[in-house]
Amino acid sequence: MSVISEEHVRGGSVFKDISADDDDWQPTEIESLCMNCYKNGTTRLLLTKIPFFKEIILSSFSCANCGWTNTEIQSAGRIQEQGVCYTLKVKTKEDLNREVVKADSATTRIPELDFEIPAFTQKGSLSTIEGLLDRAVAGLEQDQAVRAIRCLSTN
């Protein structure tokens, strides 16, 4: 388990450039409540910098009791006044496996399908293009039965 020391705070930023070669910089582990089974699980936090993505907080929760897990990426800085636009043309099935870092403030658009994932509707994540789409589909399917019943009752 790692704890952020005073020297990291006083000597500069608590955020460190991400590097596969650095064995000293380990996540901080915190015992926390599992929202699935209400027993204690473990949250791991890592404050780091990803090139072109600024400072971020990586968090990962796992519960040994029920097996529930959750991962999240949060921006540690303020939302910039001017954004950046990245465009990816998906031409092959393999392109769906491209890894992307998506901020929670990012909007994802697929103009060919007239499909948009608005900003702040998904948590920030490190995923693939396919993973972003799967998450959007799961969100659309959520409570679909309840919406269908409501739609029938209003007609």
Check whether 153 has a pLDDT greater than 50: yes
Cβ–Cβ under 8 Å, residues 77 and 54: yes
Range of the domain at 144: 82-155
Q: Are residues 49 and 87 both part of a single domain?
A: no
Check whether 40 has a pLDDT greater than 90: yes
pLDDT at 6: 42
pLDDT at 105: 84
- pLDDT mean across residues, the chain: 80
Q: Within 13 Å, how many C-alpha atoms sit on residue 127's CB side?
A: 19
Rounded to an integer, what distance in angstroms lies between the CA atom of residue 50 and that of residue 52?
6
How buried is residue 102: exposed, middle or buried, by Cβ count under 10 Å (0-12/13-18/19+)?
A: buried
**Domain boundary, last residue among 77, 105, 138:** 77
Q: What is the pLDDT of residues 6-20, one digit of tens each?
A: 444 444 555 555 554
pLDDT above 70 as % of the chain: 81
**Domain boundary, last residue among 19, 44, 77:** 77
Cβ–Cβ under 8 Å, residues 104 and 56: no
Number of domains in the chain: 2
Q: Are residues 42 and 90 both part of a single domain?
A: no
Q: What is the pLDDT of residues 62-86, one digit of tens each?
A: 999 999 998 887 777 776 777 788 8
Q: Are residues 47 and 86 both part of a single domain?
A: no
Q: Are residues 69 and 87 both part of a single domain?
A: no
Q: Are residues 46 and 95 both part of a single domain?
A: no
Rounded to an integer, what distance in angstroms lies between the CA atom of residue 121 and that of residue 32?
25
Rounded to an integer, what distance in angstroms lies between the CA atom of residue 18 and that of residue 1?
18
